[in-house]
A = this chain, B = another copy of it.
Amino acid sequence: MDEGGDEVDLDTVLEALDRDEITVTEAKERLAGVRRIGEGEFARVDARQAERTGIPEIVEAERKTDEQLLGIGRELLSSTGRAILTGVPDSAKEALVAEADDDEFYERSRTLVLHAEDYEPPETRGRVGVVTAGTSDIAVAEQSAALAAEMGCDVETVYDVGVSAIHRLFAERETLESCDCVVVAAGREGALATVVAGLVSAPVIGLPVGTGTGYGGDGEAALLGMLQSCTYLTVVNIDAGFVAGGQAALIAR
């Protein structure tokens, strides 16, 4: 693929220029290197970050018309062989599925994964654990699970093992120990992330969830608690399930 220039960037381009294989204008273009999805008012899809890190583009359906979703879905399927859309309304889902060779739908987060016929999944590398404290944390955790799976990881989900009854967690300890990275989604006080990090050897990513009411609710206490954790944790923002899943997959492989 001759666009590998993205990878080598400066060196490749300067050397090509030095060897007079390209002109100054071409050099400048390649250093800038932006690809657009058609000429509509859609967001430009930058394929470069995906190529470099293997994190696929996630399209948020919110505030987009069904038509726009369909357009972006088609474009991504034809250009990258895959499309991941989240928050997909029923009205757009069917038409999107019809464009794909196979699809998977995560109901709680309404995340739709589509593959084109010629899509070649990444080789399986690494195992990611996704743990939730309660049932209300699953919608966000599902985003992490979907993205990590799509990036080629085995995903182990251990849902609803909140800290108020610590015994449950022990039963799942072995499963978690087998993972290369564990995402812990928890709302309210978020203590589960601290407890899991105290139990397993793999790196743990805390994913605060916007549950909880009253003071410190909407995920704030969970975020602060994870940032203050007395164990070794990194953290993503409240409800940032995809960020946690993408990072977990990068780590796991």
> Which residues of A does B touch, CB under 8 Å?
9-11, 14-15, 17-18, 20, 23-24, 27-29, 31-34, 41-44, 46, 48-49, 52-55, 63, 133-136, 160, 162-168, 170-171, 173, 181, 188-191, 194-195, 197-203, 205, 210, 212-217, 219-240, 243-244, 246-247, 250-251
Contact, CB under 8 Å: B225 / A191: yes
Q: Given that A214-B219, A235-B236 are known contacts, is A230 also in contact with B33, CB under 8 Å in the complex?
A: no
Contact, CB under 8 Å: A231 / B164: yes
A29 to chain B, nearest CB (A): 8
Residue numbers in B under 8 Å from A243 (CB-CB)? 232-234
Residue numbers in B under 8 Å from A160 (CB-CB)? 43-44
A251 to chain B, nearest CB (A): 5
Most chain B beta carbons < 10 A, residue from A11, A134, A215: A215
A230 to chain B, nearest CB (A): 5
Instruction: Show 15 residue pairs from A and B whose CB-CB distance is below 8 angstroms, ordered by the A residue.
Output: A14-B28, A18-B24, A32-B167, A41-B135, A52-B200, A166-B199, A189-B191, A202-B250, A203-B250, A210-B214, A220-B224, A221-B224, A225-B225, A227-B237, A251-B251
Contact, CB under 8 Å: A53 / B232: yes
Q: Given that A34-B168, A202-B250, A225-B224 are known contacts, is A28 also in contact with B46, CB under 8 Å in the complex?
A: no
Contact, CB under 8 Å: B236 / A163: no
Q: How far is the CA of A135 from the CA of B63 in the complex (A)?
A: 11
Say how many copies of this protein the assembly contains: 8
Residue numbers in B under 8 Å from A168 (CB-CB)? 32-34, 44, 46
Q: How far is the CA of A215 from the CA of B31 in the complex (A)?
A: 35
Residue numbers in B under 8 Å from A52 (CB-CB)? 200-201
Q: How far is the CA of A250 from the CA of B232 in the complex (A)?
A: 10
